[in-house]
Amino acid sequence: MKLDPFSRAAIRWMSVIHASAYRMLGGATPLNRRILILITKGRKTGRSIEKPLWYFEDGGKLHLIASYGGNDAPPAWYLNLSANPEVEAEVVSTRRRYRARTLSSEERARIWPRIIAANPLYAGYERRTSREIPVVELSAI
């Protein structure tokens, strides 16, 4: 699956709206979903980019899933943190610095079933793409 330019632009605008609503509501989300705002540095522009994302918490670490809705290409936020792994994340109203790293295939295999149990949408995304969807661990620094 490949997204067209219109769909990519729509996703960018929805992210801006989602991040604004998240802050206005003090981190409250529909259905009490775990959402954070990831702040990365653009790998091409160097500017700060905010992206609201669902996260899975395990052992005091936050995990992000680079699914891009099952697109065959990884999301831009994943490419940005791959280029610059020092990021910030805002959870509710607390903003902290983190170091991001992609889990190995073995580490991912251990946590993936629990991610699917917590958010079954990712199983569908996994079926849509031929790539292994990366799981990123954020460790506080």
Using the predicted structure, report yes or no on whether residue 23 has a pLDDT greater than 60: no
DSSP strands (E only) in the chain: 35-41, 48-58, 61-65, 86-91, 94-102, 135-140
Rounded Cα distance, 40 and 26, in Å? 21
**pLDDT per residue over 63-78, tens digit each?**
999 999 999 999 999 9
Residue 135: name the closest of 76, 51, 78 by CA: 78
Using the predicted structure, report yes or no on whether residue 2 has a pLDDT greater than 80: no
| CATH superfamily of domain region 5-140 | Electron Transport, Fmn-binding Protein; Chain A (2.30.110.10)
Cβ(72)–Cβ(131) under 8 Å?
yes
